[in-house]
Structure 1
Amino acid sequence: MSGWSDDTIWWAVYPLGFLGASTRPADGRRPLEHRLPALEGWLDYLLSIGCNGLALGPIFESVSHGYDTLDHFRVDPRLGDEDDLAHLVAACHERGIRVALDGVFNHVSAAHPALLAALSGGPGSPTADMFHIDWSTNPPTRLNFEGSDDLVRLNHDSPAVRELVTRVMNHWLEFGVDAWRLDAAYAVPPSFWAPVLAEVRASHPRAFVWGEVIHGDYARIVADSTMDSLTEYELWKAIWSSLAAENFYELDWTLARHNGFVEDFVPMTFLGNHDTTRIASRVGDAKAVLAAVVLLTVGGIPSIYYGDEQGFHGVKYDRPWGDDEVRPAMPAGPGELSGLGAGMLRRHQQLISIRRRNPWLVRARTTVTQLANDHLVYEAYDPADAARRLYVSLSVGARAKAHVADAAGGLFAFEG
Structure 2
Amino acid sequence: MELKQYAKTVAKNARQASIELATATGDQKLNWLKRCAAELVARADEIVAANAKDLTAAEEKGLSSAMIDRLRLTPERLQNLADAVVEIGQLPDPVGEIFESCKRPNGLLVTKVRVPLGVVFFIYESRPNVTVDAAALCVKSGNAVILRGGSEAFHSNTVLYSVLKDCLKAEGLPENAVQLVETTDRAAVGEFLAKGDLIDVTIPRGGKSLIERVAREATMPVIKHFDGICHVYIDASADQAMATDITVNSKCQRPGVCNAAETLLIHKDAAARFWPALAAELQSKGVELRCCSESAKGIKDAKAATDEDYGTEYLELILSVKIVDSIEEAAGHIRQFGSGHTESIVTNSLQAAEYFQNQVDSSAVIVNASTRFNDGGEFGLGAEIGISTDRFHARGPCGLREIMSYKYVVHGTGQIRN
TM-score interval, smaller chain: under 0.3
TM-score by length of 2: 0.27
- Larger Rg belongs to: 2
| Structure number with higher helix proportion | 2
Higher RCO (C-alpha 8 Å, min separation 6): 2
| Structure number with higher strand proportion | 1
TM-score by length of 1: 0.27
